[in-house]
Amino acid sequence: MAEEQGRSRLGRGLAALIGDVGEEIGAIERARGQRRVPVEFLRPSARNPRRNFAEEELDDLTASVRERGILQPIIVRSIPGMLDAYEIIAGERRWRAAQRAELHDVPVILVEADDREALEIAIVENVQRSDLNPMEEAAGYERLIAEFSYTQNDLARVIGKSRSHVANTLRLSKLPEPVRALVSGGAVSAGHARALLSVSDPELMAKRIVEQGLSVRDIERIAQDEARGETKSAVAAKPKPEKDPDTRALEKALEEALGLSVVISHRPSGAGEVKIAYRTLEQLDALCRRLKA
């Protein structure tokens, strides 16, 4: 009972930490006090649920930071045994942008938080700002459950989402790893991913989503047909479009050069897109370095 009361109090405290920007800054400044510290004093957290930082988004934020500075303080906590060193709880993207903008110092809010509280704050901040991809969100929820014995009701209350949202997000972790990679990379949406949980071969269907542009409703119809014991539906029977040899050769050449899965799609108008799937942040960093070079 004491633990549940503690969680409830923390949930109300998080509302002050993660509310609207103006309310957040005002509430925290009154309660904790704001300060500025050199950029090099901050350290990213290994427990940050967010793993992917899109280059384009970082570029946009860097331009804004260079023009106006950091408007919203970075939430940090002290690192035991280290002088003038702080672990970022929420705001790593702002810190990265500040480094790119060559700022000397940044505004921070120093809070006292244990590992559980720090993880909660990080998840809530990212979820409320839609900064996490669905797989990162699921991984954050799983960590709170595994490490701190949270129930789905606890998560729903603290995160500010419905219990069904929490349950559906957690279910995404049951998808095959290749499908999870596509979801993390944005090639497959969260709605598609939830629908894939009901089909017999999620990996195959995920590839069809990428290559053929199947909608969520298409996947749901296929799942319903499978549940009724039918082997074909209008969507399932739709033939996979054949790619010309030149396109297949180019895909293969790019895959060999990058070491990543590449899909090239053409439209009748002459436009098209190239989709590159990566599985780890290291692969993304390597890809960005290649593109910049």
Q: How far apart are CA 278 and CA 52, in angstroms?
A: 11
Cβ pair 148, 40 in contact under 8 A: no
Alpha helices in 160-201 (DSSP H): 163-171, 177-184, 190-196
Whole-prediction pTM value?
Answer: 0.52
**Which of 120-129, 140-149, 220-229 is predicted least confidently?**
120-129
Domains of the chain: 2-128 (3.90.1530.10), 176-227 (no CATH), 245-292 (no CATH)
**What are residue 173's phi and psi, to 5 degrees?**
-65, -15
Each residue's pLDDT tens digit, 23-68: 444 444 434 567 899 999 999 887 777 666 667 777 888 888 888 8
Q: How far apart are CA 5 and CA 233, in angstroms?
A: 52
What's the token pair of residue 235? 């969507």
Residue with tokens 């899965």: 261
Cβ pair 239, 215 in contact under 8 A: no
15 pLDDT higher than 60: no
Q: Which residues are catalytic?
A: 92
Closest CA to 136 of 94, 165, 173: 173
Each residue's pLDDT tens digit, 130-153: 567 888 888 888 888 887 788 888
What 3-state DSSP class applies to 272?
strand
